[in-house]
Chain A
Amino acid sequence: AQTVTQSQPEMSVQEAETVTLSCTYDTSESDYYLFWYKQPPSRQMILVIRQEAYKQQNATENRFSVNFQKAAKSFSLKISDSQLGDAAMYFCAYRREGGATNKLIFGTGTLLAVQP
């Protein structure tokens, strides 16, 4: 069974600094997708960035980028120039490509605090 592990329950960063959130996963599949979702106090899960496993190039979205290491099954999120609005719970998620199951498998989350 696939699993997603986030080993940092909480992280803190100074405004304008850079922070990296860690995520590892376990799967025997070769085709899959990885995601980082942000959940602020408003509760809505917001897609931050996504990565297709077959792409070697790391995804970037403005201040957000990932370090995808397929062999190591690692998928970390880097937030540059952190802003107060980045404070939230961040979830790493995995979804298998194809097959009968399209569910997202989530990690336990990392609570990010941004200090002014």
Chain B
Amino acid sequence: KAGVTQTPRYLIKTRGQQVTLSCSPISGHRSVSWYQQTPGQGLQFLFEYFSETQRNKGNFPGRFSGRQFSNSRSEMNVSTLELGDSALYLCASRGTGDYGYTFGSGTRLTVV
């Protein structure tokens, strides 16, 4: 079956702009989580969605938001981009009864 699909793979944006990243989980998976990966901070949890509801949120400013649709696809949005938002953004999905997560290949965001 298809894995976790993230689009786009690469993105270059200018400071002050906003960006939307997309994640399609494995078919049947209702839990979707987002992580930010940077050389300085490592892997940090952004938020988790389950059945269109945000269940958990990491320690990120309100500029970072997300949502999940009825088909479990998820989007995350970052408004008023800052240089420090440059990172690899990873999405992971998990099925009911499964305690492991499957990750996508990520979206590499560069803010200039």
Contacts and interface: CB of A to CB of B under 8 A. Distances in A.
Contact of B104 (A44, A95, A97, A101): A44
Nearest to B58: A103
Contacts of A37: 103
Contact of A47 (B55, B100, B108): B100
B106 interface: yes
Among B45, B58, B88, B101, residue most surrounded by chain A Cβ atoms (within 10 Å): B101
A108 B105 contact: no
B42 A102 contact: no
18 contacts: A35-B100, A37-B103, A42-B105, A43-B105, A44-B105, A45-B90, A45-B92, A50-B99, A52-B99, A95-B99, A100-B55, A102-B48, A103-B33, A103-B45, A103-B48, A104-B43, A104-B92, A106-B42
